[in-house]
Amino acid sequence: MEVVEFSRPVGYVFDPTDCELVGFYLSKKKANQLIPGIDYFIPEYNLYGSKEPWQIWNFFKPRLGEERDDQDLYFFTKLKKKTLKGSRIDRSVGTGTWKGEDGSTEIVYNNQRIGSKKRFRYENKDSNQHGGWIMHEYSLDSSLLLPDQHNDYVVCRIRKNQLALKKNNRRKCQEVDSEKKKKNKVQEVDSEPLPLATLPARSTTTTTTTTTTTMVQQPLQLEDETELYSDEYAFAIRQYQYEDQQNYSLYSTVNNLY
């Protein structure tokens, strides 16, 4: 893309009306009539190509000599048909498309229809620029064309939709914050210590003395308990066996009695 150097008067703002865009600039472009400085104010560029709207904006914006996002940009561009023999226009741009928002609006001058205007919006749901760019496409009425002229040239006005871009940025920030919160929550859960297993408490019927000696459960072998021990001790032994031989402290206490 070549930038044409032009010295514009201080304070000058290019802000043509719809009638001026169609009846003067576009009609003279189609007739190949020279307009001084036209390549600076309305350069010719393909708005239905591989470049995104913001890339086009950022390249041509410095030509205005000021950082004003409310200043529109104007371009001559050729319409591109979907098929060679068809009549449908391909309005894809970059990775998105120019989506029509309304029907054609007539442009009338001195009670005569001289052209039409359509409004388009940039659509790309995978981009944070979705809906952030507006394009008005101006075309000359076919009744004003000469026999050897074609209605393939149009003049377009591009402007930045600040409200939509701010809304997209807020939504993007909210999505990023939500993802961060989810990640932090997962990290907190992963860092929590595992709960200790709760061991079942042993049931006892009498007060026992706590010992630090680990005992291995073994079946009690007695040669002849009726002869070696008294009836009271034998009763205690049978009670211990009845409690599933799990209370080792009780067995130790009974032994200490004799």
Residue-wise DSSP of 92-147: EETTEEEEE-S--EEEEETTEEEEEEEEEEEE-TTSTTTT-EEEEEEEE-GGG--T
- Residue 48 is encoded by which pair of tokens? 């239905």
> What's the chain's average pLDDT?
77
Q: How confident is the model at residue 24 (pLDDT cuts 50, 70, 90)?
A: very high
Stretch 177-204: mean pLDDT, rounded? 64
Between the ranges 6-10, 57-61, 77-81, 119-123, where is the mean pLDDT highest? Answer: 119-123
| Residue 118 to residue 136: CA distance in whole angstroms | 6
| Residue 98 to residue 47: CA distance in whole angstroms | 9
| Residue 132 to residue 54: CA distance in whole angstroms | 9
* Statement: the pTM of the whole predicted model exceeds 0.85: no
- Residue 231 is encoded by which pair of tokens? 């009836």
Q: How confident is the model at residue 22 (pLDDT cuts 50, 70, 90)?
A: very high
What is residue 220's predicted lDDT score, i.e. its pLDDT? 46
Q: Under a CB-based contact definition with an 8 Å cutoff, are residues 165 and 129 in contact?
A: yes
106: pLDDT strictly greater than 90: yes
